[in-house]
A and B are shown apart, each in its own frame.
Chain A
Amino acid sequence: MKRFEHFNAKTIDEAILLLEKYDGEAKVIAGGTDLIRVLKDDILPKYPKAIINLKTIANLEYIKEENGVLKIGSLTRLSDVASSSLIKTKYNLLSEACRSVGTPQIRNMGTIGGNLCQDVQCWYYRASKSLGKVFHCLRKGGNVCYAVSGDNRFHSIFGGKGCVAVCPSDVAIALTALDALVKTKGPLGERVFPVSELYKDAALNLGRSEIVTEIQVPEPPPEARQIWIKFRLRNSLDFAIVSVAVMLTLEEGVCKDVRIALGGVAPTPKRLKEVEDFLKGNYINSETAEKAGKMAVAKAFPLSHNAYKIPITESLVKRVILMAKDHRTLT
């Protein structure tokens, strides 16, 4: 790694002040599982002058419930989120999504805030001098997305505003189906907004000196059934090729409420509002589930190398709905 200055922030405000002082030339570090790789490969257009450690800030690691809202401090480790009995019982979707991230070691280090803010995995973006080639792509201030005309087998099947890299975070997909919010703090104060809005066109929707401080999840109705499926080639380590998070509430076989989010297929977590509207008020059976799968991909337009994701998405959507209906889980 090239050199940088290192600061242990004591408070959120101190971290923000340092970020301001370095004016875009500093990065915060949480678990470091993504950032250290980014620094080793030296892929950022500007190598940061300073790294600001958030782990030294007191009170950013917690899991608690307050007035029907689950609150998770942004520095809470994924293994702690996954193993929390509160989260397992009431927010199992989140627990399962965290458990499916990377490897046990990555989950022992990686934080929930860092998971949401990690960089995309696109191999053009990640290519580095040490690997022999650098692509000055849209995300780096260039004007082309090399994946559009290149090897895009792991990219979006729902387009993108320029950049077609997919949202890499598993946690973001589960949190989208749970209607969760993120809380941030920056020089202008605090903001609270839906997790899915953290992602926009080729960047994170965060100010230069803004830090994610908390995740807030409204309590799902106790009868809601939650399922997480992550399709990948190896059952460990791999990022999602397609993932689906569903939360389904039934009343005598009829869908009372449903939320479905897709991962691995678009630059942001993708809520399937049209499919949800179709399912609400309908009986859930293999016909409606199949129709839901078809609707989920009706508007997909694959790139040259990733049409294979369409049938996978279609069948996973059908499968999660039926699994939720039958109270089945993956073992």
Chain B
Amino acid sequence: MDEGKNDLINGARMRMQKIKLTINGKLYELILGYEVQPWHTLAFTLREKLGLTGTKIGCDRGECGACTVLMDGRPILSCLTLTVECDGKNIETIEGLLNSKTGKLHPIQEAFIESGAFQCGFCTPGMIMSAKALLQRNPNPTLEEIREAMSGNLCRCTGYIPIFNAIMKAAEKMRGMT
């Protein structure tokens, strides 16, 4: 094959700007202008480009928390985040919670099921991500601390009480594990 042409293509590839995202521990490199456009939100990229449809879009305006993911450990709204601004960031979504070695659900997921903490389930991935961030920084939260940590996630179905119970239960399970 023509050496010169190869160099040209390689050169162009080098110049292509890539957005590097670590999502649930896996590195994704997305080519800017092709796989990612400047006006794409992280919620859009996750769902429409990477097939990670666990993250939900409710209001798409920052008001409901359904799109909550963790960025460098903190809950943020993927509907108000530009993917181009996530270069180099560590993102966690609901898909990352399953233990890939044992195939077991995360204790928070188990607790949500056991406590009946969802009905339609649309708020659940966002709820669980907010809960995960809380329990990472505070393994033994009070009800008040749970309510505050969850105050950016709306649920239309459950009335919240089963959700708070689930988080209490998850905290217990997780404390028992360490």
Chain A residues proximal to chain B, CB less than 8 Å: 1-6, 8, 29, 32-33, 36-37, 39-41, 51, 53, 55, 79, 102-106, 108-109, 235-237
Name the B residues within 8 Å of A41 (CB-CB): 61
Question: In the complex, which of the residues B62, B68, B75, B151 contacts A33, with contact meaning CB atoms closer than 8 Å?
Answer: B62
**Whole-angstrom CA separation of A51 from B77 in the bound complex:** 19
**Whole-angstrom CA separation of A40 from B77 in the bound complex:** 15
Question: In the complex, which of the residues A8, A104, A109, A237 contacts B149, with contact meaning CB atoms closer than 8 Å?
Answer: A104
Q: Could you tell me if B85 and A53 are in contact, using CB atoms closer than 8 angstroms? A: yes
**Whole-angstrom CA separation of A53 from B83 in the bound complex:** 12
Q: A2-B39, A6-B84, A53-B85 are in contact. Are A37 and B62 (CB under 8 A)?
A: yes
Q: Could you tell me if B39 and A108 are in contact, using CB atoms closer than 8 angstroms? A: no
Name the B residues within 8 Å of A36 (CB-CB): 41, 62, 79-82
Name the B residues within 8 Å of A32 (CB-CB): 80-82, 85
Q: Could you tell me if A103 and B80 are in contact, using CB atoms closer than 8 angstroms? A: no
Name the B residues within 8 Å of A5 (CB-CB): 38
Q: Could you tell me if A40 and B75 are in contact, using CB atoms closer than 8 angstroms? A: no
Q: Could you tell me if A109 and B81 are in contact, using CB atoms closer than 8 angstroms? A: yes
Scoring A2, A6, A53 by chain B CB atoms within 10 A of each residue's CB, the highest score goes to A6
Q: A32-B80, A37-B80 are in contact. Are A236 and B151 (CB under 8 A)?
A: yes
Closest to B151 in A: A236
**Whole-angstrom CA separation of A123 from B91 in the bound complex:** 34
A sample of 5 cross-chain residue pairs with beta-carbon separation below 8 angstroms, ordered by A number, consists of: A3-B38, A41-B61, A102-B152, A109-B80, A236-B152
Name the B residues within 8 Å of A3 (CB-CB): 37-39
B74 at the interface (CB under 8 A from A): yes
Q: Could you tell me if A105 and B76 are in contact, using CB atoms closer than 8 angstroms? A: yes
B125 at the interface (CB under 8 A from A): no
Name the B residues within 8 Å of A104 (CB-CB): 75, 130, 148-149, 151-152
CB distance from B136 to the nearest CB of A (A): 13
B71-99 CB mask vs A (1 if < 8 Å, else 0) is 00011110111101100000000000000
Name the B residues within 8 Å of A109 (CB-CB): 76-77, 80-81
- Interface of chain A, helix or strand or loop or mixed? mixed
Closest to B63 in A: A237
**Whole-angstrom CA separation of A4 from B74 in the bound complex:** 28
CB distance from B105 to the nearest CB of A (A): 24
Name the A residues within 8 Å of B41 (CB-CB): 1, 36
**Whole-angstrom CA separation of A106 from B84 in the bound complex:** 19
**Whole-angstrom CA separation of A289 from B62 in the bound complex:** 39
CB distance from A79 to the nearest CB of B (A): 7
Q: A6-B84, A236-B151 are in contact. Are A106 and B39 (CB under 8 A)?
A: no
CB distance from A235 to the nearest CB of B (A): 7
Q: Which 3 interchain pairs have the tightest Cβ spacing? A: A103-B152, A6-B38, A236-B151
B107 at the interface (CB under 8 A from A): no
Q: Could you tell me if A51 and B151 are in contact, using CB atoms closer than 8 angstroms? A: no
B172 at the interface (CB under 8 A from A): no
Name the A residues within 8 Å of B153 (CB-CB): 103
Q: Could you tell me if B62 and A4 are in contact, using CB atoms closer than 8 angstroms? A: no
Q: Could you tell me if B82 and A40 are in contact, using CB atoms closer than 8 angstroms? A: no
B31-47 CB mask vs A (1 if < 8 Å, else 0) is 00000011101000000
Question: In the complex, which of the residues A1, A39, A108 contacts B74, with contact meaning CB atoms closer than 8 Å?
Answer: A108
Name the B residues within 8 Å of A53 (CB-CB): 82, 84-85
Q: Could you tell me if B65 and A105 are in contact, using CB atoms closer than 8 angstroms? A: yes
Q: Could you tell me if B61 and A79 are in contact, using CB atoms closer than 8 angstroms? A: no
Kindly list 20 other residue pairs between chains A and B, CB separation below 8 angstroms, not including A1-B39, A102-B62, A104-B151: A3-B38, A6-B38, A6-B39, A8-B84, A29-B85, A32-B82, A33-B77, A33-B80, A37-B61, A51-B82, A53-B82, A102-B152, A103-B153, A105-B62, A105-B65, A105-B130, A108-B74, A108-B75, A235-B151, A237-B152
